[in-house]
């Protein structure tokens, strides 16, 4: 049985939304900026978080078949200075680091925070790139 990483991403999103990270503005894409040519378009409301790139491979995760996945999370903030981006990153760490989750398909995952970098400002936006290691385990049947 192949592990379904989309279920793991769904769990990440629901956990971050339940923790009220960025008032629930968690995306898997960069929202478009509002424009006058597109009236009624919501666009970017800051701060927000994006599930960034991920990479994984099958690995020995103990005595079960599993995968190790490296997931990037991006925090985008327009507040002055890095304080808001740092505070959001701390809330994300508290919600995810060393947590064990059971997924909808019966598989489980353990999330480990591996580091972060805060950059900016670029167009008045601060970016916090967070790195997580996720160990996915098949459900025991």
CA–CA gap between residue 115 and residue 8 (Å, rounded): 20
Average pLDDT over residues 98-119: 92
φ, ψ for residue 135 (rounded to 5)?
-100, 115
| pLDDT tens, position by position, 69-94 | 899 999 999 888 899 999 999 999 99
Q: What is the DSSP letter of 46?
A: S
| CB of 131 closer than 8 Å to CB of 70 | yes
In the prediction, which pLDDT does 1 show? 47
Cβ-defined contacts of 16-21 (< 8 Å, 24+): 16/49, 16/92, 16/95, 16/96, 18/95, 19/91, 19/92, 19/94, 19/95, 21/49, 21/88, 21/91, 21/92, 21/95
More confident residue, 141 or 16: 16
Domains of the chain are 5-27+44-137 (3.30.2000.30)
pTM of the model: 0.84
């Amino acid at each position: 049985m192949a592990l379904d990483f989309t279920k793991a991403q769904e769990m990440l999103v629901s956990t971050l939304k339940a923790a009220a990270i960025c008032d629930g503005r968690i995306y898997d894409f960069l929202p478009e900026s509002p424009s006058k040519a597109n009236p009624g378009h919501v666009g970017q409301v800051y701060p927000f978080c994006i599930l960034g790139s991920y990479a994984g491979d099958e690995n020995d995760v103990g005595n079960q078949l599993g995968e190790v996945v490296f997931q990037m999370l991006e925090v985008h903030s327009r507040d002055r200075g890095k304080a808001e981006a740092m505070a959001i990153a701390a809330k994300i760490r508290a919600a995810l680091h060393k947590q064990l989750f059971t997924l909808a398909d019966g598989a489980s995952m353990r999330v480990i925070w591996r580091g972060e970098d805060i950059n900016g400002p670029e167009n008045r936006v601060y970016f916090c790139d967070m790195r997580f290691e996720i160990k996915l385990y098949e459900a025991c049947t």
